[in-house]
Copies of this chain bind each other. A is one copy, B any other.
């Protein structure tokens, strides 16, 4: 039921779409992060109006609370959360490495304690597949080991090879679930796709080895993991270029956890089709707005009596209705509406930027667009 179509390329940039059991997603696509079954600060109706076609759900969080068993009994994550459009779930691995306590990694999987209540859990590759099957996302990710940066070549190689072995186990498990007839009780979405993840740190040859080995297993799509974790930006772009070139043309490529507006455009230019990042939502709650004129920190005193919209070029509800002076007041007053209005703007800016990227590829003007976009959004923040 998952099908990717590549419509057009412009340099290495790709225009396409993929079909899922919950509808079509146009690529290049940005996924707002819906950690706990909601995108922080946004009602789903506003997220739909902003143009989100796909959201990311975090397996680690949903597994711990309210539990994938419960979500499965209630018909899967779409029905549980009231979101009818496509959902991608991560494998939980990243949060095990970044949030959980007392984690221990073995060949079998990861043991850890919940950051919420200290309860003990065991996450195996097969378990990560089963959890995501219960959640019923449209795209599931394999469990991978997340390498800290910096890491030695040996650490990166060992970790990458373990991730490849885990990926093979994830693929075997989902094939068991798919071939069960009728599908096992755990499956909430029979049309779920599964993406592999390329690791290998900042080492080109390891990335190539990982890309080849992951493709040899065979997935509906391929992600690039373990970047945007502190490495220099040019190194990240180089690794993205090299890895994307090594991946199959006919399947979507997802750069996990990136990025800034600049990253989106630069990595589309290197052949990436999908992105997710907490930046637009998290920074919104901290008062940072992404605009067509650069970044803007709404706390800045210069906005105290600024009656203009956050971004004059933006069509969003926040920009149509509210001034910088008002948003600054709400933020300084600690009103939750501040976070809501800022989030609505930042996500609209990200989603509109993706639309402009797609339009530029369609018109064959991506490179011009890229230069203009970088000039506008990267200008030294006008309130720095």
Considering only CB atoms, which chain B residue lies closest to A317 in the complex? Answer: B45
Q: Which of A138-146, A209-217, A260-268, A334-342 contacts B (4 or more CB under 8 A)?
A: A334-342
Q: Is A70 part of the contact surface with B, judged by Cβ < 8 Å?
A: yes
Considering only CB atoms, which chain B residue lies closest to A45 in the complex? Answer: B317
Q: Is A148 part of the contact surface with B, judged by Cβ < 8 Å?
A: no
Asked whether B325 lies within 8 Å of A74 as measured between CB atoms, the reply is yes
- Residue-wise interface mask of A (314-336) relative to B, using a CB-CB cutoff of 8 A (1 in contact, 0 not): 00010001110110111011011
| Chain B residues with CB under 8 A of A75 | 307
Considering only CB atoms, which chain B residue lies closest to A343 in the complex? Answer: B336
Known contacts A82-B326, A340-B43; A333 and B74 CB within 8 A of each other: no
Q: How far is the CB of A338 from chain B (nearest CB, A)?
A: 8
Asked whether B82 lies within 8 Å of A330 as measured between CB atoms, the reply is no
Asked whether B337 lies within 8 Å of A40 as measured between CB atoms, the reply is yes
Residues facing B in A26-46 (CB within 8 A) are: 36-46
A307 to B42, CA, bound (A): 21
The interface size of chain A toward B, counting residues with CB under 8 Å, comes to 43
A46 to B45, CA, bound (A): 11
| Chain B residues with CB under 8 A of A372 | none
Residues facing B in A199-245 (CB within 8 A) are: none
Q: Is A149 part of the contact surface with B, judged by Cβ < 8 Å?
A: no
Asked whether B36 lies within 8 Å of A335 as measured between CB atoms, the reply is yes
Known contacts A37-B326, A80-B325, A330-B36; A304 and B66 CB within 8 A of each other: yes
Q: How far is the CB of A327 from chain B (nearest CB, A)?
A: 10
| Chain B residues with CB under 8 A of A341 | 43
User: What are 26 residue pairs bridging A and B, where the CB atoms are less than 8 Å apart in the complex?
Assistant: A36-B329, A36-B330, A37-B326, A37-B330, A37-B333, A40-B335, A41-B337, A43-B46, A43-B317, A43-B337, A43-B341, A45-B321, A61-B333, A65-B333, A66-B325, A66-B328, A66-B329, A70-B325, A74-B307, A74-B323, A75-B307, A79-B307, A80-B323, A80-B325, A81-B326, A82-B321
Which residues of A are at the interface with B, using a C-beta cutoff of 8 A?
36-46, 61, 65-66, 70, 73-75, 79-82, 304-305, 307, 317, 321-323, 325-326, 328-330, 332-333, 335-337, 339-341, 344
Please name the 4 residue pairs, one residue from A and one from B, whose CB atoms are nearest each other, closest first: A38-B337, A66-B329, A82-B321, A36-B333
